[in-house]
A = this chain, B = another copy of it.
Amino acid sequence: MANRIITISREFGSGGRTIGRQTAERLGIPCYDAELIQKIAGESGLASEYIREKEEHSVHANPFVNIFMSDRSNGGFSMQDYLWSVQRQVICEIADKESCVIVGRCADYILKDRQDLLTAFIHADIEKRADRVEQIYGEVDDMPVLKRVKDKDKRRKTYHRFYTDTEWGVAQNYDICLDSGTLGIETCVDILCGLYARQA
């Protein structure tokens, strides 16, 4: 079956979002990234800014804190769990409706049983990512850029493990993994466009 949905998981600063946008643009299909957050906001009744922050900040890098400090320890569900459930529903609805690129939000895991899925992981050397982050976002919160990149990676990795029980960045979990630092953004876009709609 042809690949119709492309999911992009990415290390912070790897250009994964740009690769997603450019791939979608060239293929003439929508790219869900900020749009996904708006949709989740619409469904959940929560503010977009709150949702954006929750992806990376409500799961603590230390898994014990997640278990013992959250209301999960009483067998309950946290706000994060509610968001996960809405996110899951929104992503499934989008994938049912149309061909698209979805960036982040564990869409690879949520859609894993679909036959028309191409899952990509974009990564790059940490120094290259820190340079890119500095160029695009500049210094934020007085935190050195390298520390900020490492911190984001850790949070995304922990969030992914917490909700999917699979390891983020392990090659076996994706159809294709690309080093955007050595291959370049354009090459990554070329490869993903080439794979779209291709029969396996």
Question: Which residue of B123, B170, B178, B194 is within 8 Å of A169 (Cβ)?
Answer: B170
Residue A174 interfacial (CB < 8 Å): yes
CA distance A172 to B157 in the complex (A): 13
Which among A190, A195, A200 has the highest number of chain B CB atoms within 10 Å?
A200
Least distance between A184 CB and chain B CB atoms (Å): 5
Question: Which residue of B169, B174, B183, B199 is within 8 Å of A179 (Cβ)?
Answer: B174
Number of copies: 2
Residue A177 interfacial (CB < 8 Å): yes
By DSSP majority rule, is chain A's interface helix, strand, loop, or mixed? mixed
Question: Which residue of B172, B183, B184, B194 is within 8 Å of A176 (Cβ)?
Answer: B183
A117: nearest chain-B partner, CB-CB: B182
| Chain A interface extent, by class | 20 to 34
- Interface pair B171/A123, CB less than 8 Å apart: yes
Question: Which residue of B170, B190, B200 is within 8 Å of A183 (Cβ)?
Answer: B200
Specify which chain B residues have a CB less than 8 angstroms from the CB of A177 in the assembled complex: 121, 171, 174, 176-177
Specify which chain B residues have a CB less than 8 angstroms from the CB of A170 in the assembled complex: 169-171
- Interface pair B187/A200, CB less than 8 Å apart: yes
Residue A198 interfacial (CB < 8 Å): yes
Contact with B along A159-200 (1 / 0, CB 8 A): 000000000011110111111001110010011001100111
CA distance A196 to B15 in the complex (A): 22
- Interface pair A121/B176, CB less than 8 Å apart: no
Specify which chain B residues have a CB less than 8 angstroms from the CB of A184 in the assembled complex: 199-200
- Interface pair B183/A175, CB less than 8 Å apart: yes
- Interface pair B179/A178, CB less than 8 Å apart: no
Question: Which residue of B169, B182, B200 is within 8 Å of A171 (Cβ)?
Answer: B169
Specify which chain B residues have a CB less than 8 angstroms from the CB of A200 in the assembled complex: 182-184, 187
Specify which chain B residues have a CB less than 8 angstroms from the CB of A182 in the assembled complex: 175, 200
- A-B CB contact pairs (8 Å), 5 listed: A172-B179, A175-B178, A175-B182, A183-B200, A194-B194
